[in-house]
């Protein structure tokens, strides 16, 4: 293992904290509004398992997710930089804070991609990265399922209390949609958890 890979391995704990923070921000809109932070990059909503090759499937999902995250963070950073130029002096510090946060995420994601793409890979570092990401995805998806179950319950209550049939029908459509989203998130959570266990992570 070369020195560069060792340095990257040493930063995995910091990287994990960044991933978890992004997941929390994704799910907590009130925090975003209060602190003017960009939305976190969410977990993959479509995961394909490979029976007998669970680690390979998780690894491939991580590479794809990291690439997508890097593209998203760079785009949002560019948008924030463009916004900074148009902002009045009084609000420039808030926009600069967003730029700094996105810049940090870009660097962390680039470091993570280096871990999975390096010519002389460190298997332990790669497995730790995969484990950290998948555990964060599972938590985010479980929270997503719980939230949409609540949305379905709220829509169902509104449907029962609706004065007009058309209004009630619209709420019932919301109930069905929210339940489907919750079911899908739960399925992904179970699939990821099962593969994480099968891969020995």
DSSP string, 110-153: HHHHHHHH-SS--HHHHHHHHHHHHHHHHHHHHHHHHHHHHHHH
Report the domain count for the chain.
1
What pLDDT does residue 18 have? 52
Identify the domain containing residue 63 by its residue range: 3-198
What pLDDT does residue 59 have? 95
Q: What is the mean pLDDT of each run of 10 residues along the chain (201 residues)?
A: 48 49 44 58 89 94 94 93 88 90 93 89 91 94 94 91 87 92 94 94 87
Inter-residue contact 118 to 9 (CB < 8 Å): no
Produce one character per residue of 70-84: b if its CB has 16 or more CB atoms within 10 Å, e if not.
Answer: bebbbebbeebeeee
Q: Please give the model's pTM, rounded to 2 decimal places.
A: 0.75
Q: Distance between CA atoms of 21 and 119, rounded to whole angstroms?
A: 29
What pLDDT does residue 32 have? 42
């Amino acid at each position: 293992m070369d020195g560069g890979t060792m340095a990257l391995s040493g930063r995995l704990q910091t990287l994990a904290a960044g991933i978890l923070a992004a997941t929390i921000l994704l799910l907590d809109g009130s925090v975003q509004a209060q602190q003017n932070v960009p939305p976190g990059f969410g977990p993959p909503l479509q995961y394909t398992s490979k029976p007998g090759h669970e680690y390979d499937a998780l690894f491939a999902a991580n590479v794809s997710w990291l690439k997508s995250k890097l593209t998203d963070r760079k785009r949002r950073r560019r948008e924030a930089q463009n916004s900074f130029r148009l902002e009045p002096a009084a609000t420039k510090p808030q926009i600069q804070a967003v730029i700094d946060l996105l810049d940090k995420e870009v660097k962390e994601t680039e470091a993570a991609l280096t871990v999975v793409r390096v010519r002389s890979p460190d298997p332990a570092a790669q497995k730790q990265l995969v484990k950290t990401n998948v555990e964060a995805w599972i938590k985010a998806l479980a929270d997503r399922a719980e939230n949409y179950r609540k949305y379905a319950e709220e829509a169902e209550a509104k449907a029962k209390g609706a004065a007009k049939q058309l209004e009630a029908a619209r709420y019932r459509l919301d109930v069905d949609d929210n339940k489907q989203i919750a079911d899908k998130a739960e399925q992904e959570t179970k699939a990821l958890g099962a593969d994480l266990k099968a891969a020995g992570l």
